[in-house]
Amino acid sequence: MTEVSENPTQIKQEAKAPKTIVPGGFKRSVCKLVMKLLGKGICYGYKVDSRIKQDVDAIGDDFSVKLTISPIGPTMIFGKKDQKPFSRIGSYDEEATMTISFKGLNSAFKMFTGGMGLAAGYAQHRFTVKGDLYKILAIVRIINIVEGYLFPKAMAKKLMNPIPPKQVNSVRFLCGTLF
Amino acid sequence: MLPKYYEFLNSVKIMSGENALENLPHELKMMGAKKPIVLTDAILAKCGTLDKVQKAFKGFDIDVTETYTEIPPDSSIKVINEIAGIFKAKGCDSIIALGGGSVIDTAKGLRIVIEQGGNDIMDYMGLDSLPRKDRIAFAVIPTTSGTGSECTNVAVIANPDKNVKMEFISYDLLPDFAVLDPRMTETMPPKITANTGVDALVHAIEGYTCLQKNPLSQSYAFAAIRLITTFLPKAVLEGGNHEYRLAMSNAATMAGIAFSNSMVGLVHAIGHAIGGVAHVPHGIAMAILLPHVMKFNLETLKPAYAELLLPLAGAEIYATTPKEERAQKAIEFVTAFIKQFESVGLPTKLSDAKVTEDQFDAIAQTAINDGAIVVNPIMATKEQVIEILKEAF
Ligand SMILES: [Fe+2]
């Protein structure tokens, strides 16, 4: 919240940055892909899973959550505006109502690819949070439920205890998310 | 067994024992403090405890006349922002907190606002996200033995407009000094001694067992439990005894260090919610909930609870209890240990603490949004929280 907002050209700059100077380019690309999927999954989940809808609505009517990886991203923003959920790839420096920032790429990669759950990430001090900690729990549940749909069961089992039950089947969820 | 990764910090200088207070002015002088603001509550200001603190500074070039004595039992953002204004207007340069959890949490919030250079504590909500700024000296003199707040990186501050408690977690919340002087706790009434002491017990048990546990935090927790089960009943019966008081102060501080580095779990998640919804004092909520949450966690935490039977019940009972029965025995011990304080008025059922069944839904809804629920080994659902509340009713 204390971060200074950057100008709108920031997004373009990130996109244009030559790939060779980005450390951990492969892992960052994978994280970006999973983030994208997660964002779309949240938006689709809002329509088909009552728990996701309930938690998104409980966070507020107009909010944005920034998920990012230090020190340069990738960054995904999701939230709700005009009664509708949204998600998009954003820039590292932009402001949001709440920011969850992973301290390093390797642990972020683990968390986005099913090697570590959010609870373990928290216990290991792998990320920082700016904003109302009270709302973080709703975010954690939303992400857990979406990951429960998107990740294979064996993977989900490693991530959370217990795995949240599904309200629609995973294939349908994945199709809804992708198309 | 080591966790895959952990962090541990306790940077607080602990000053424990007879006349501990007497060494505080020197420490503040060494940090260049000239004009601390002394935060306390109305009762401590009236009963002469504040006087004792001020007297300890006689002859030093440190002005301790600037006091704020109206801190309410639930520290709130409004109070913090108000004191921040006073701090700046009066040219204060350091903080002394004299009191229990609420006073200490208020002081922590004040320090953040002053150090970060803002006016509103709400701007600094979060986890581990505050940049390091120039430190101002911050001493804590606890007058209860329970919260351990003198050595924790957590502050819980109420937001009365939204009727919620907000959590701040940052290493910047750790004070510089914790003064454990038995004169500061000797007048605590038996019921408060009991419920704050049980709070410390919960800190130690949850600090020992939650997901963020690590060998350092577990060592503190283990030692704290031994002190609490040995000295809490004695301190309740004989409050004027400095040995018992000091043992409990140390236990609470050690339990605080433990949970500051491993966080608390489901007992606290539900306890905070009961505090918010039904206004049950924290220690009382802890006493009521602990045995029931231990039962809920038993399957997952069997080995850890079995280990805890040793500090809880002592070597004799530990050795004569078969291995597979130790965890269950630990829960039985905790239940009986808490029950003994019914004689000084400690409620052990929610119904005795004036909680009503129609509040369960609101309590459970609040509990599942409490940060403490994340590090509990089983992430409880709303329905499970309601089941626990029914058991504890
Ligand atoms: Fe507590």
Residues of chain B in contact with residue A104, where contact means CB-CB under 8 angstroms, are none
Cα angle B95-B286-B149, degrees, rounded to a multiple of 5: 15
**B384 has pLDDT over 90:** yes
Q: Say if the Cβ atoms of A140 and B378 lie within 8 Å.
A: no
Residue B184 DSSP one-character state: G
Q: Is residue A71 part of a domain?
A: yes
Residue B42 DSSP one-character state: H
- CA torsion sign, B22 to B27 to B32 to B33? negative
Q: Is residue A9 part of a domain?
A: no
What pLDDT was estimated at residue B345?
A: 94
Q: Could you give the residue ranges of the DSSP H alpha helices within A60-132?
A: 105-112, 118-123
Q: How many CB atoms lie within 10 A of CB B216?
A: 17
Q: Mean of the pLDDT values across residues A36-51?
A: 89
**A12 has pLDDT over 50:** no
Number of domains in chain A: 1
Rounded to 5 degrees, φ, ψ at B59 are 90, -15
Closest CA to B6 of B172, B206, B217: B217
Rounded to 5 degrees, φ, ψ at B74 are -115, 105
When CB atoms are compared, the residue of A125, A134, A161 closest to B7 is A125
Going by C-beta distance under 8 Å and a sequence separation of 6 or more, which residues neighbour residue B169?
A133, B126, B127, B128, B153, B154, B371
* C-alpha span between B264 and B258 (Å, rounded): 9
When CB atoms are compared, the residue of B125, B375, B379 closest to A133 is B125
* C-alpha span between B34 and B28 (Å, rounded): 8
Q: Is residue A140 part of a domain?
A: yes
Distances in Å between the alpha carbon of B90 and those of B34, B37, B86, B110, B180?
12, 9, 6, 14, 28
Q: Is some CB atom of chain A closer than 8 A to the CB atom of B117?
A: no
Q: Say if the Cβ atoms of A124 and B127 lie within 8 Å.
A: no
Q: Say if the Cβ atoms of A124 and B378 lie within 8 Å.
A: no
**B166 has pLDDT over 60:** yes
Token pair belonging to B73: 């039992």
Assign A26 a pLDDT band (cuts: 50, 70, 90): confident
* C-alpha span between A69 and A76 (Å, rounded): 10
What pLDDT was estimated at residue B163?
A: 67
B31 in Cβ contact with B63 (< 8 Å): no
SS3 label, residue B143: coil
What pLDDT was estimated at residue A162?
A: 62
Averaged pLDDT score across all residues of chain B: 93
Q: Mean of the pLDDT values across residues A159-174?
A: 68
Residue B377 DSSP one-character state: S
Distance B282 CA to ligand 1 centre (A): 7
What pLDDT was estimated at residue A155?
A: 63
Q: Is residue A99 part of a domain?
A: yes
| A83, burial (CB in 10 Å: exposed 0-12, middle 13-18, buried 19+) | exposed
B270 in Cβ contact with B285 (< 8 Å): yes
**A3 has pLDDT over 50:** no
Candidates B2, B116, B125, B212: best to mutate against A (most CBs of A within 10 A) is B125
* Lowest mean pLDDT segment, chosen from A50-54, A131-135, A156-160, B358-362: A156-160
**A106 has pLDDT over 80:** yes
As a whole number of angstroms, the longest Cα–Cα distance in chain A is 43
CATH of domain B190-392: 1.20.1090.10
Q: Where are the domains of chain B?
A: 13-184, 190-392
B146 in Cβ contact with B285 (< 8 Å): no
What residues make up the domain containing A31?
Answer: 24-38+48-178
CATH of domain B13-184: 3.40.50.1970
What pLDDT was estimated at residue B283?
A: 93
Q: Mean of the pLDDT values across residues B119-139?
A: 87
* Lowest mean pLDDT segment, chosen from A23-32, B48-57, B136-145, B253-262: A23-32
Residue A152 DSSP one-character state: -
Checking DSSP bridges between strand B94-99 and strand B154-159, what pairing results, if any?
unpaired
**CATH number for A130:** 3.30.1050.10
pLDDT tens profile B3-43: 889 999 999 999 999 999 999 999 999 999 999 999 999 99
What pLDDT was estimated at residue B167?
A: 79
Averaged pLDDT score across all residues of chain A: 80
More confident residue, A160 or B370: B370
Q: Is some CB atom of chain B closer than 8 A to the CB atom of A4?
A: no
* C-alpha span between B33 and B335 (Å, rounded): 46
A23 in Cβ contact with A69 (< 8 Å): no
A114 in Cβ contact with A158 (< 8 Å): yes
pLDDT tens profile A108-160: 998 888 788 888 888 888 999 998 888 888 888 888 888 888 876 656 665 66
Q: Is residue A13 part of a domain?
A: no
Closest CA to B373 of A121, A40, A140: A140
What pLDDT was estimated at residue A2?
A: 41
What pLDDT was estimated at residue B137?
A: 95
pLDDT tens profile B182-194: 999 998 999 999 9
Checking DSSP bridges between strand B177-180 and strand B67-68, what pairing results, if any?
unpaired
| B2, burial (CB in 10 Å: exposed 0-12, middle 13-18, buried 19+) | exposed
Residue A131 DSSP one-character state: S
What pLDDT was estimated at residue B178?
A: 97
Closest CA to B380 of B358, B364, B391: B364
pLDDT tens profile B171-184: 889 999 999 999 99
Q: Is some CB atom of chain A closer than 8 A to the CB atom of B127?
A: yes
Residues facing B167 on adjacent strands: B156
**A1 has pLDDT over 70:** no
For the beta sheet containing A127-130, the strands, ordered from the edge strand earlier in sequence to the opposite edge, are A84-90, A75-81, A63-69, A98-102, A127-130, B126-127, B164-169, B154-159
Q: Say if the Cβ atoms of B378 and A101 lie within 8 Å.
A: no
* Lowest mean pLDDT segment, chosen from A161-170, B89-98, B346-355: A161-170
What pLDDT was estimated at residue B257?
A: 96
Closest CA to A35 of A43, B19, B93, B127: A43
**B106 has pLDDT over 50:** yes
pLDDT more than 70, % of chain B: 99
* C-alpha span between B223 and B335 (Å, rounded): 20
More confident residue, A105 or A5: A105
Going by C-beta distance under 8 Å and a sequence separation of 6 or more, which residues neighbour residue B331?
B291, B294, B295, B298, B305
What pLDDT was estimated at residue A25?
A: 84
Token pair belonging to B52: 């004792």
**B109 has pLDDT over 60:** yes
Residue B302 DSSP one-character state: H
Token pair belonging to A18: 């030559």
Checking DSSP bridges between strand B126-127 and strand B154-159, what pairing results, if any?
unpaired
- Mark residue A6 as left, alpha or beta (left: phi above 0; alpha: psi -120 to 50; beta: remaining): beta
Q: Is residue A15 part of a domain?
A: no
**A24 has pLDDT over 80:** no
SS3 label, residue B37: strand
B126 in Cβ contact with B173 (< 8 Å): no
pLDDT tens profile B257-277: 999 998 889 999 999 899 888
When CB atoms are compared, the residue of B6, B370, B378 closest to A124 is B6
When CB atoms are compared, the residue of B129, B211, B263 closest to A120 is B211
Distance B66 CA to ligand 1 centre (A): 30
pTM of the model: 0.88
Q: Is residue A155 part of a domain?
A: yes
Checking DSSP bridges between strand B36-39 and strand A84-90, what pairing results, if any?
unpaired
